[in-house]
Structure 1
Amino acid sequence: MSEAAPREQWGTRSGFLLAAIGSAIGLGNIWRFPYVAYDNGGGAFLLPYLIALLTAGIPLLILEYALGHRYRGSAPLTFRRLHRRAEFLGWWQVGVCLLIASYYAVVVAWAGAYTVYAVDGAWGDDPDAFFTGDFLAVAEAGTLGGLRWPVLLPLVLVWAVALGVLVGGVKRGIERANRVMIPVLVLSFGALVVRAVTLEGATLGLDALFTPDWGAMLDSSVWVAAFGQIFFSLSVGFAIMITFASYLPRDADLTGNAFIAGFANSSFELLAGIGVFAALGFLATAAGTAVDEVATEGVGLAFVVFPAVISQMPGFNGFFGVLFFGSLVVAGLSSLISIIEASVSAVVDKFALGRRRTVALVGGGTALVSLLYATAGGVNLLDVVDNFVNLFGVAVVGLVEVVVVVWLLRQVEPLRRHADGLSEVPLRRWWVLALTVVTPLLLGLVTLDNLRAELSAPYSTADGTYPVGFVIGLGWGAAALALAIGLALTLPAWRRPGVDLLAPPRRTEETLT
């Protein structure tokens, strides 16, 4: 396969792993996993979660590593080389990435602002009123209002850092950044967890999280939740891991890398669960209430509940507040960079543009769109778009990817041989069985369950204040927009010179000589 220029490569195996782990470890690990585990059987949830990791998460990760490494391209180029008509799938994934990046950057900016607020506890005695009032000045759903300067200023900084890293490229930009960010994230969040478990009442929270409800194992929704958490937390199904794997050297151990990245991500989720629920136990004890009355997920946990925890800590409140929100910033930045890189790589591949120009066009354009979420009505917009893009974007495109690659194009055996030719641990029948049966079946159940829930009770805020038109137009509209982006970017001709798009890749044995 001829290429116009050698494809960039990671400098070291650890550089790739840190980037892959940084992409997987994001805000959702900290504020989604603990509550999902708590709400689905506590300690008993860890068993279906582990089964989901081994039968769906890691097999999907290996599949995407093998695809990107074998076909040496971004998601659209990889799928185009797999089959001419499969190119659309890669651009659909890019569309999902662009939509997620547009609002994800704003949440990272919130965390950046709160890192500063944590120094003196600027949220005062009522973190909820501060977040929705002083900080966001939340407008009525369906209206935007004006730009919020407390959000806009850190948002500009977030984009400046992310795009600056991306301009540096794979080795000098992304790899170098993750060599700093991931150790900082682990050390800072680890220190926070150590402090949390020593607080009064911490055991109350840990008991609430880990006490197993074995009866929940018989509830199918618990298993759906476990597989859903794995799909959403590993960054599979939306172009990132395919792109990152395309930068690997020809002799990379694909299977070993997938196991390391998968277990590292899950270990951090477990660490987050311990830290979050130890802190919730402390807050419940201080308030004289039950853990279930303070347990929540999402932005409410990060920007309302945790500020309350930090304010009541017996000493060094500001320091631990900076650690917590600083951890959110680092986790968010590492994921944001990977999301944008998947889109940048795709545009570079197809339109033969330079990296700097592409980063300016793709990253700059996405940054401009993100201004919509920095308005007074932005949090309502973000809430609805995030829900629908995740449930009917990431999950559906992941399901389509598996069906196309495994069932329609029958690539599971060629990809298994490719991975086995490079990896120390051979893939056996479990991997083939997982991808042909378990993964599509469970992804299908997750998608159907999401669709059933949405049709039976349309998405709304807790008090039901979202107008139906707002949810349909922005929620379903966002999911449809990802599809539209995929179609629009598939249509133009490939401009990259010297690329035989349909040539099969060289056999693994040839690449190693």
Structure 2
Amino acid sequence: MNEKNSKDSSFSGQLGFVLAAAASAVGVGNLWRFPYFAAKDGGGIFLLTYLILLVTFGYALLSSDLAIGRKTQLSSIKAYGAMKPGWKFLGILTFFVPAIIMTYYAVIGGWITKYAVTFLTGAGAAAAQDNYFVGFITNPVESGIYAAIFMLATAFVVYRGVERGIEASSRIIMPVLLVTVILISLYVLTLEVHDADGTVRTGLQGLAIYFLPNFEGMTLSKYIQIVLDAMSQMFYSLSVAMGIMITYGSYVKKEVNLNQSVSQIAIVDTAVAVLAGMMIIPAIFAFSGMEGMAAGPKLMFVSLPKVFNSLGIVGIIIGAAFFLMAIFAALTSCISVLEAIVANCMEIFHAERKKVTLVVSTFYTVVTVIIALGYSLFYVEVGLPNGSTGQLLDIMDYISTACMMPIIAFLSAILIGWLVKPEWIIGEMEADGSTMPRKGLYRVVIRYVAPVIMVILALQAFGVIN
């Protein structure tokens, strides 16, 4: 028996695995990044582009990661070396993605927790003030405490293991999250706002902007940027090219139908992202019009609290429900990032889960607080190669998601497409007796299309192209 699985449990079955993997995929990327990219990139155009990429690139990358994990029964740092001698370096490179993401993910989770507490205590009006968010993240004591609490909650679940910790929490969190996001989405569509000049804006009008593509003024360069944004979001949302799904795949039993699992994970993840857009974009449009749609990353922490506050007591209740749901989503993703690190360290040091989790979590609690203080005591402002500027959190995000993920996906595509050949993955996808759909599409994407697109994404990240 594989060393890791001999001392650590696996997922109980397909449902447990799908819920855990979907919970990993559903996170801040769905509730925060997806809506603001959709708002920035023309609503329906971004949505259509994202869906096309999902059934092509997303399908290929997610299938590859899960198949690699189950076939090798190893986490990412050793899995690539088991696939092809001399390629262990790719596993090491992949390991650094969650290792870097873990430095700041709990910081964002702390922000969300702060807003949940604010709305639950009836102080939603305070959260709607222009300087509330900046005031919080620049407060070293408060921001550091919330980040540490979120990190410790993540560590507790990982400490309990795969089935009793990760799977058990996902079985509770995912249904609650899905029901909450559906109810809020339906309510938002009933909104109707009357301006002083007689203008009426409704949630349904915002929904039309979100779903219907508008190609007016569209140029090739603008659409290329939309494609790149959608691709970046897909990496972040599906947890691919960072070793997480390889780790989760290593916990999957051979009788589980991976083909069905890939489809189910993608459907749940995309449904939450689309519903998050249905919650946020119609609400922002109803209260702020097209100007509010340009809020960018501040959409969730600045614009949305203003909307909730404008709805009175109903808005306070909806705001509390929304940020509680966001805590669930952020927590499940943070758990998967920490699990990828812990699983790799267990293999490297031949140590048991609880000891590794304690050591790793202690280290990351300290680092998380340092990153949280990057807006106050450790404030820096650094120019990045892609033309943006950022603080400590932004720098870590840029290195891990903008730079490393495209490079890892490129190298993985070369390894699978040209060295071990696509049949290596296809064979594992069909190990339970099922047939892998879209095999021809998989071969084309992994061999020819993915390497080209990954190079373009990497060049954009390094500022070579705009």
TM-score scaled to structure 1, two decimals? Answer: 0.80
Query: 1:59 matched to which residue of 2?
Result: 60
SS in 2 for 1:356: helix
Query: 1:173 matched to which residue of 2?
Result: 165
**What is the Cα deviation at residue 431 of structure 1?**
1.1
AA at the equivalent of 1:341 = E
Q: Residues 247 and 277 of structure 1: is their aligned pair in 2 closer, same or farther, counting only changes over 3 Å?
A: same
Q: Quote the Cα distance in structure 2 between the aligned partners of 1:345 and 1:263.
A: 27
**What is the Cα deviation at residue 297 of structure 1?**
2.9
Matched, 1:297 2:289: no
Query: 2:387 matched to which residue of 1?
Result: none
**Residue-by-residue CA offset, 1:188-207 (whole Å, 9 max, x unaligned):** 22222122111112123223
AA at the equivalent of 2:157 = V
Query: 2:180 matched to which residue of 1?
Result: 188
Counterparts of residues 242-321 of structure 1 (less than 5 Å):
242-284=246-288, 290-298=289-297, 300-321=298-319
Query: 2:340 matched to which residue of 1?
Result: 342
Q: Residues 353 and 14 of structure 1: is their aligned pair in 2 closer, same or farther, counting only changes over 3 Å?
A: same
Query: 1:402 matched to which residue of 2?
Result: 413
Would the aligned equivalents of 1:395 and 1:443 in 2 still touch at CA under 8 Å?
A: yes
Would the aligned equivalents of 1:25 and 1:268 in 2 still touch at CA under 8 Å?
A: yes
Specify every segment of 5 or more residues in structure 2 that has no aligned partner in the other structure, as ranges.
193-201, 380-390
Matched, 1:438 2:445: no
Name the stretch that deviates more: 316-325 or 335-344.
316-325
Q: Residues 366 and 423 of structure 1: is their aligned pair in 2 closer, same or farther, counting only changes over 3 Å?
A: farther
**What is the Cα deviation at residue 20 of structure 1?**
0.7
**Residue-by-residue CA offset, 1:198-227 (whole Å, 9 max, x unaligned):** 111212322332331236485333333332
**Residue-by-residue CA offset, 1:250-289 (whole Å, 9 max, x unaligned):** 22211111111112211111111111111102221xxxxx
AA at the equivalent of 1:434 = V
Would the aligned equivalents of 1:256 and 1:424 in 2 still touch at CA under 8 Å?
A: no
SS in 2 for 1:329: helix
SS in 1 for 2:313: coil
Q: Residues 32 and 91 of structure 1: is their aligned pair in 2 closer, same or farther, counting only changes over 3 Å?
A: same
Q: Residues 106 and 125 of structure 1: is their aligned pair in 2 closer, same or farther, counting only changes over 3 Å?
A: closer
Matched, 1:358 2:356: yes
Query: 2:430 matched to which residue of 1?
Result: 420
Would the aligned equivalents of 1:92 and 1:397 in 2 still touch at CA under 8 Å?
A: yes
Would the aligned equivalents of 2:4 and 2:347 in 1 still touch at CA under 8 Å?
A: no
Counterparts of residues 3-402 of structure 1 (less than 5 Å):
3=3, 6=6, 8-119=9-120, 120-121=122-123, 124=126, 127-133=129-135, 135-137=136-138, 148-200=140-192, 201-214=202-215, 216=218, 218=220, 219-284=223-288, 290-298=289-297, 300-375=298-373, 376-377=375-376, 380-402=391-413
Specify every segment of 5 or more residues in structure 1 that has no aligned partner in the other structure, as ranges.
139-147, 285-289, 457-513
Q: Quote the Cα distance in structure 1 between the aligned partners of 2:4 and 2:19.
A: 28
Q: Quote the Cα distance in structure 1 between the aligned partners of 2:211 and 2:85.
A: 49
Q: Residues 317 and 214 of structure 1: is their aligned pair in 2 closer, same or farther, counting only changes over 3 Å?
A: closer
Q: Quote the Cα distance in structure 2 between the aligned partners of 1:48 and 1:39.
A: 14
Q: Residues 311 and 122 of structure 1: is their aligned pair in 2 closer, same or farther, counting only changes over 3 Å?
A: closer
**Residue-by-residue CA offset, 1:446-487 (whole Å, 9 max, x unaligned):** 22223336x77xxxxxxxxxxxxxxxxxxxxxxxxxxxxxxx
Q: Quote the Cα distance in structure 1 between the aligned partners of 2:445 and 2:109.
A: 35
AA at the equivalent of 2:425 = L
Query: 2:386 matched to which residue of 1?
Result: none
Would the aligned equivalents of 1:28 and 1:233 in 2 still touch at CA under 8 Å?
A: yes
Name the stretch that deviates more: 2-11 or 395-404.
2-11
Counterparts of residues 498-509 of structure 1 (less than 5 Å):
none
Would the aligned equivalents of 2:417 and 2:443 in 1 still touch at CA under 8 Å?
A: no
**What is the Cα deviation at residue 400 of structure 1?**
2.0
Aligned Cα root-mean-square deviation (Å)? 2.2
Which 4+ residue blocks in structure 1 deviate beyond 6 angstroms?
A: none
**What is the Cα deviation at residue 123 of structure 1?**
5.2
Q: Residues 5 and 94 of structure 1: is their aligned pair in 2 closer, same or farther, counting only changes over 3 Å?
A: closer
**What is the Cα deviation at residue 320 of structure 1?**
1.1
Would the aligned equivalents of 2:305 and 2:319 in 1 still touch at CA under 8 Å?
A: yes
**What is the Cα deviation at residue 10 of structure 1?**
0.4
Q: Quote the Cα distance in structure 2 between the aligned partners of 1:59 and 1:369.
A: 34
